[in-house]
A and B are shown apart, each in its own frame.
Chain A
Amino acid sequence: MKKFTYSSILSQLLLLIFVIIWIIPTFGLFISSLRDKDLLAISGWWTSLTTTEVNEIYRMSGMASQIQEEDYFIIKGKLFENNPGKKIQSFGITSKKINEFKIGEVAIFKDESKVTIDENGNYLWKSLTEFTKKKGKRIFTTSLSPPSFTFDNYKEVLFKEGIGRAFINTLAVALPSTLIPLIICSFFAYALTWMKFFGRDTLLAIIIASLVVPLQMSLIPILTIYNDFGALFGVAAKSYPGVWMAHTGFGLASTTFLLRNFLKSLPNEMMEAAKVDGASHYDIFLKIILPLSIPAFASIFILQFLWCWNDLLVGLVFLDQVPSEIILTAKLKELLGSRGENWEILTTGAFVSMTIPLFIFFALQRYFIRGLVAGSVKG
């Protein structure tokens, strides 16, 4: 039986509040990105979720389109283009009484001409005398508009604004920048944990110390060194290998430290049993450590990948701002400057940049949670 205490209720409540605080902007961003760009500019995203009453003004056609049928002069037409969701509830002919008539009722103007409207916006305007005005009369409609969403924004953003290309660039930065340090740190952490060699503790202390050094401090010196080295081998100053190496360098200390802490929690006797069984360090690493460390690898993968994906600074410094190299965060920043008033592009771009982190998190989250608590409970 689970006990419900005040503190547990409080913590559940707090959790709920945090979840709501986190979810609402994300959800709003998502809805906004699917809305029509004109509506997006005039109303909030929450209004698009329910069927809403919309008041609109249309003008009927003028004298040019009249035809004569027996005694009547008739003008036929549509108030708006076909829209299956939109149904007119009522209409009016003066701005004072905009919903004076129901569908099917006949409205009579001052000049004795009569008009009927069906719910899809087709109107029939009859008069005994000839229409003489160039412009038709105004009709005020009240209609119910259901929620409507469109992928137009995504089409535009992905294919016209260059976000699609930036998305691929970011993947090209983030995947190697995650996998390379993961591979290095797995060997490194194993050696730090289970091999005896001179200076091991000093090395560990240096790694922990380097965790405290802010990235901003070393960014430019590293770029200079990289450029000097790159010049020796004829590598371009700003290129993908550079950003991979930078991310690897900046991420290695924390990934190694995290993995080492996990490996430390594995029982020593198991390694000794394997040694007695005749396993070399390489065998132990491959056949025992790796299978047992998958949760730890997954959580480190998530942390490092998200860090690289969301990074702006390293990408700005180590890559050129050209279409073939610009990363998503830099592209969004650029759009914010040039297209700052086009909300549909910004919301959609932002949501595109969120998809991969969300996907990774949901795909690996059970490992993530297990990895974070690993070692705290005896398995």
Chain B
Amino acid sequence: MADININTVNKYYGDVHVIKDVSLDIKSQSFTVLVGPSGCGKSTMLRMIAGLEDINSGTISIDGQVVNDLPPKQRNIAMVFQSYALYPHMTVFDNMAFGLKLEKRSKDEINERVQEAARILQIEDYLHRKPKQLSGGQRQRVAIGRAITRKPKVFLFDEPLSNLDAALRVQMRVELAKLHDQLNATMIYVTHDQTEAMTLANDIVVLDEGIVSQKGSPMDLYNDPNNLFVGGFIGSPKMNFISTKITSKSNDKTEVDLMGSSKISIPKTSASASEGDAVQLGIRPEHLIVNQDGDGSWESKVFVVEKLGSGTFLYLEKEGEPLVVETEGDSNIKVGDTVKVGFSASRCHLFDSSQQAFK
């Protein structure tokens, strides 16, 4: 069992306030992904948990014990770095055994643990090679193996797949998910890639400029973003945003103008909103229906068609950013066609001027 509790933690680099009063509870044996754009403080967060960065205020506790002043080795954690950070002068075996040797384990135990980790990661054949003789994917496995052999309570991953090519990244992603099931350890994973976050996580923590924007299961975040930032960050291609105004408002519904062509009544509301307020209407490309009326509809010219096989993305001319629509793969809509898209009211999100979502 290794719950991690982070309580009103602050971090400054000089005058720059990078982590602002962050509080988080990470459940034992969960796979938690910290996600956000670069510079949002997610790596700093992870390094503070690892003990590689000092904390200016607040507490971090692992398994009920406050670890603020403990060095990394007493925190019972293991970390996998983006650049692998293998020891270039040691063989794969020695790389994986390094931590165990420092713990003064017996030779048999070291051998057994390294072999076991190698078997899990399928790198048994490379144990006597040096890191430079390995490919990127193999190196990353060794880095993960180095973490596994020490049997830590908590695994920390700092963008471990960013240096791999696309195909390998997908493969390693699956293996990481498998590994989490096998090891039953608490894993904290940092990435800027929302696909990795969606596929791997039990819980996603979206960080934005040093604050937790939203925390929840992947589907919660997808279906019910708390604010404009999360709405835009989760999902690929990203959510469409349409600037509009509230035309009328009732207890459980808000009616907004749909780019002059029609009005749509959305079953969400916000106490602070009132008629005439400027809001952002958000809808995901996969929730727009081509050539149907829906609860509201709008027509425009297609200027880019992206065929992916499984689906087709249409880019429709709109004031500001184009409206992206997903339709079936064998669609025969061409560039220049005028297309009508239908909006489903229940799939629409509304965000007020302070970017908070209507519920």
Contacts and interface: CB of A to CB of B under 8 A. Distances in A.
The answer to whether A and B interact is yes
Interface of A: 267, 269-270, 272-279, 283, 287-288, 291-292, 379
Nearest to A292: B89
A267 B132 contact: no
A284 to B, nearest CB: 10
Given A276-B77, A278-B99, A291 B52 contact: no
Nearest to B150: A277
Residue of A274, A275, A277 with most chain B CB atoms under a 10 A cut-off: A277
A276 B73 contact: yes
Contacts of A288: 87, 89
A276 B50 contact: yes
Nearest to B99: A277
Interface stretch (B9-17, B59-67, B78-86, B203-211): B78-86
Given A272-B52, A276-B72, A292-B88, 13 more contacts: A269-B85, A270-B85, A273-B85, A273-B86, A275-B72, A275-B73, A276-B78, A277-B146, A277-B150, A278-B103, A279-B102, A287-B98, A288-B87
A298 to B, nearest CB: 15
Nearest to B149: A277
A7 to B, nearest CB: 33
Contact of B71 (A274, A275, A379): A275
Interface of chain A, helix or strand or loop or mixed? helix
Given A267-B85, A292-B88, A379-B132, A272 B79 contact: yes
B79 A270 contact: no
B103 A272 contact: no
A278 B85 contact: no
B96 to A, nearest CB: 10
Contacts of B52: 272, 275-276
Nearest to B132: A379
B102 A278 contact: yes
Nearest to B143: A273
A363 B20 CA distance: 57
Residue of A267, A272, A273, A279 with most chain B CB atoms under a 10 A cut-off: A273
Contacts of B87: 270, 273-274, 288
B89 A291 contact: yes
Contact of B79 (A267, A276, A279, A291): A276
Residue of A275, A276, A287 with most chain B CB atoms under a 10 A cut-off: A276
Contacts of B71: 275
